[in-house]
Amino acid sequence: MRLSTRNQLPGKVVSVTTGEAMAVVKVELDGGQTITSAITRDAAEDLGLAEGSVVTVLVKATEVGLAVE
């Protein structure tokens, strides 16, 4: 599959927490960092996401914000 998204990060699912409508998926990237994605529960089920699933995290954003105290 070819995608226009340039930020593609390989990793493995470490947890999937499902709610009524949404799922929170934590992915450990190949470099050891963890990234969290909130997707619909239906999408998580359609993709068959579970602990240990090998995935590619796709990041496409027009804005990234940072804050410090």
Domain residue ranges of the chain, discontinuous segments joined by +: 7-50
pLDDT tens sequence across 15-30: 999 999 999 999 999 9
Contact criterion met (CB below 8 Å) for 11 and 51: no
Report the top-level CATH class of 7-50: mainly beta
pLDDT of residue 65: 79
In one-letter notation, the amino acid at residue 29 is L
pLDDT for 66 beyond 80: no
pLDDT tens sequence across 20-62: 999 999 999 999 999 999 999 999 999 999 999 999 999 887 7
pLDDT of residue 19: 96
Residue closest to 51 by CA, chosen among 13, 24, 22: 13
What's the residue count for the chain? 69
Strand order in the sheet with 34-40: 34-40, 22-29, 7-18, 54-59
